[in-house]
Amino acid sequence: MLNKYYTVKESGSHEISIQKSRFIGYVSRVHSEDEAQSFIQSIKKQHHNATHNCSAYIIGDRDEIQKNNDDGEPGGTAGVPMLEVLKQQSLKNTAVVVTRYFGGIKLGAGGLIRAYSTTTSETIKHVGIVKGELMQGYAMTIAYPILGKIENALEHSPHIVENKEYTENVTLTVYVHIDAQETFEEEMINLTNNEVELVQIQQKYVETTVES
């Protein structure tokens, strides 16, 4: 498993105009080639009368699957630069389609490369990127008198408090970066004078928005 990854925040689209041609970018998370192809076909169906529906996707923890399609544009002027944007931004499990409605002015190879890469970049920027980090979950049980001290410490830490359960004691569900477990456990033991019960629960990816 990866300790962290980057991907698009959600599915979305963005349109720009270049030399009277309309370029509409679409991005989506995908986790298989079937999902990627289904996404691409849905955009092609939506824009069946477009001049081109060019596409690219990258799938797998190690970017094992990388595909692109120029859809009638000159070879290497659309799909490849779109895929390069995904790679340059280190995005995982992401598909992009750029729909073009020709406006009557030819852009040339260099112009096409810039147009498709720019549309891809601007669409990703518009939709947003998230960073997913693998975190270890803890069920942390403490007594009420030390709750304030613990809450203050956690509030000023990179750890994420997901839930609080109030019974005879307080049980906090806390997620900690996978490489910070030992430090976290020591800190909680010291803060509570060893009056804490720490039980590891599941690991999961926690996503946060990346500021552009």
The answer on pLDDT for 1 being more than 90 is no
The whole model's pTM is what?
0.86
Mean pLDDT of 43-64: 97
Superfamily of domain 4-127: Impact, N-terminal domain (3.30.230.30)
pLDDT at 149: 95
- Give the pLDDT mean for 131-140: 97
Q: CA–CA separation, 108 vs 74, rounded Å?
A: 9
Give the tens place of pLDDT for each residue, 60-80: 999 999 999 999 999 999 999
212 confidence band (pLDDT: 50, 70, 90): low
Given a cut of 70, whether residue 7 has pLDDT beyond it is yes
Residue 88 has pLDDT above 90, yes or no: yes
Residue pLDDT, tens place only, 159-193: 999 999 999 999 999 999 999 999 999 999 999 99
φ, ψ at 61 (rounded to 5°): -60, -35
| pLDDT the model gives residue 107 | 95
Task: Give residue limits of the domains in the chain.
Answer: 4-127, 131-210
Query: SS3 breakdown of the chain: % helix, strand, coil, rounded to 5?
Result: 30, 40, 30
- The pLDDT, as a whole number, for residue 99 is 98
Backbone angles phi, psi at 6, to 5 degrees: -125, 140
CATH of domain 131-210: 3.30.70.240
HSE-up of residue 166 (Cα within 13 Å, Cβ side):
3
For 86, phi then psi, to 5°, come to: -60, -45
